[in-house]
Amino acid sequence: ALVADDTVKICQIGGELSTSAKNFARGYLEMRGIGIINVANLYGLSAIRPEKRLDLVVALKPDTDLNKVDRTGIRRKKFQVLDVEVPLIEVPVAAGRETARLIGVAALDLQLRRIGYDMADEFNKRILEQMNEGL
């Protein structure tokens, strides 16, 4: 669900970060080439939220930076916001890539890690087991 497009208000409440939109921009989204749209009118009220906890920071990078992006997901980066560390992922953006889907997968991965399942760590353990079997 959309909380805010460009004008995000962030405040710290009890060690957690809460995000919301400035009142004038709530529910609106800029779509390059189309213009400003009213998300609730197009997709219904369930497509927007007045506020949401900030769980993940996504940095969109040019696809020319592919060599600089972690490919395994083992090394976790953090981003500091109002003295709170928030998980950070860097997503290379290129024509034809489904950026929204990649960000959705990153959010699901974060949810799984919060309940104790780490896909990257599991894969790393499998590789190490395979290497040890070869010895």
Tokens coding 25? 């921009």
CA–CA separation, 100 and 113 (whole Å): 20
Q: What is the pLDDT of residues 21-48, one digit of tens each?
A: 888 888 899 988 999 999 999 999 999 8
- Residue 115 has a pLDDT of 95
Beta strands in the chain (DSSP E): 8-13, 16-21, 28-31, 35-38, 51-53, 57-62, 77-81, 84-93
Write down the CATH number for the domain with range 55-135.
Answer: 3.40.50.300
Rg (CA), the chain: 18
- Residue 17 has a pLDDT of 95
Write down the CATH number for the domain with range 1-54.
Answer: 3.40.50.300
> With 70 as the cut, is the pLDDT of residue 66 above it?
no
Chain region(s) in the chain for CATH 3.40.50.300: 1-54, 55-135
Q: Are 16 and 53 in contact (CB under 8 A)?
A: yes
> With 80 as the cut, is the pLDDT of residue 65 above it?
no
CA–CA separation, 53 and 31 (whole Å): 24
- Residue 39 has a pLDDT of 93
Nearest Cα to Cα of residue 88 among 120, 57, 54, 119: 57
- Residue 78 has a pLDDT of 93
